Amino acid sequence: MLEDLSSGFIELKKDEVLASVKSRIERGDEALKILEDAHKAMIAVGKKFQEGEIYLGEMLLTAEIFKEVLALLEPQLVDKRSPEARGSVVLATPKGDIHDLGKNIFATLLSSQGFKVYDLGVDVDPSLVVNTVKEVKPDFVGFSALITTAFASMKQLTDIFEKESLRGSFKLMVGGGVTTPILKDHIGADFQSTNAMDGVNYCLKIMAEKTSQNCV
Ligand code: B12
């Protein structure tokens, strides 16, 4: 069994990575812990890319391995208790960014906790986000961003939200590898994280506060 998923990803040893994940599932390792290790492996891949040690094509192949790992973990990640509807979330990777692995994880974890997720995909035009927000009136809007060039389109979107008096009707979250508290403040978001589970816990906390306010 591979002790270190990162080397398996970097060396594109798909069969070994998948076999290792399967045996960890069988021995009862927590799915979230395995996911965290796969996430770290992707960060290591990114570093190799940045250092010029691997190329774009190889980075793409590691993304395919990651998708297969996620498919193996999904049955463990999804809560089978069919929880009551807890709230709704519009999710998008904004214009200029095509990364979606983290967004998809966040969507899966939110759905498993009973949230209705409207996943608008990648490289999403601001008008689609705005129209969807007007139509479904979500409790949350989430942006997933992995490259800095997407910052401008997120700012553009939040300016539109303000201009159209939509901003007060939902909590705005931003997450993904390149996001920071500074970015959160820059675009006026309510929450920022590079961990999908933290995002889910934030949504659960806000919905619990809303419910207790309605009971008073
Ligand atoms: C895989 C990958 C790709 C794949 C993407 C495949 C796909 N379907 O997504 C491919 C090969 C297509 C790709 C393309 C490019 N990539 Co790329 N890519 C990566 C890599 C290696 C991994 C990203 C990833 O999936 N990580 C795993 C996931 C699970 O992590 P995550 O997204 O952060 O998500 C977690 C949390 O952040 C959270 N989360 C995610 N979203 C949200 C949202 C909310 C609201 C919340 C609460 C939480 C949350 O949930 C997840 C689990 O906890 C990163 C390296 C890195 N350090 O991230 C580079 C990286 C992001 N890519 C980079 C670059 C430069 C590119 C390209 C421009 C390369 C090129 N020359 O063309 C293009 C982008 C084109 C574009 N316009 O978007 C740079 C970005 C640098 C920067 N600072 O802007 C990085 C950092 C690599 C590097 N070090 O140089 N890439």
Angle at 198 between CA 92 and CA 109, to 5 degrees: 60
State whether the beta carbon of 147 lies less than 6 angstroms from ligand 1. Answer: yes
CB-count exposure of residue 127 (10 Å: 0-12, 13-18, 19+): exposed
State whether the beta carbon of 178 lies less than 6 angstroms from ligand 1. Answer: yes
State whether the beta carbon of 1 lies less than 6 angstroms from ligand 1. Answer: no
DSSP 191: E
At 67 the three-state DSSP class reads: helix
- Best residue among 146, 180, 190 to mutate for probing ligand 1, ranked by most atoms within 8 Å of CB: 146
**Which residue lies with its CA nearest to atom 82 of ligand 1?**
147
Contact 181, 192 (CB under 8 A): yes
Query: Which residues are within 8 A (CB) of 24 and not within 5 positions of it... i.e. 6 or more apart?
Result: 1, 34
Q: From first to last of its 216 residues, what are the pLDDT tens digits of the chain?
A: 777 899 999 999 999 999 999 999 999 999 999 999 999 999 999 999 999 999 999 999 999 999 999 999 998 887 655 556 689 999 999 999 999 999 999 999 999 888 999 999 999 999 999 999 999 999 999 999 999 989 999 999 999 999 999 999 999 999 999 999 999 999 999 999 999 999 999 999 999 998 887 776
How confident is the model at residue 193, as a pLDDT? Answer: 97
Closest atom, ligand 1, to C-alpha of 145: 41
How confident is the model at residue 80, as a pLDDT? Answer: 56
Closest atom, ligand 1, to C-alpha of 202: 47
Q: C-alpha distances in angstroms, 30 versus 63, 66, 76, 85, 163?
A: 22, 17, 8, 25, 44
Q: What is the pTM of this model?
A: 0.94
State whether the beta carbon of 46 lies less than 6 angstroms from ligand 1. Answer: yes
Q: How close are the terminal C-alpha atoms of the chain, in Å?
A: 55
E strand segments, 42-139: 87-92, 115-119
How confident is the model at residue 76, as a pLDDT? Answer: 87
State whether the beta carbon of 114 lies less than 6 angstroms from ligand 1. Answer: no
How many Å lie between the centroid of ligand 1 and the Cα of residue 215? 42
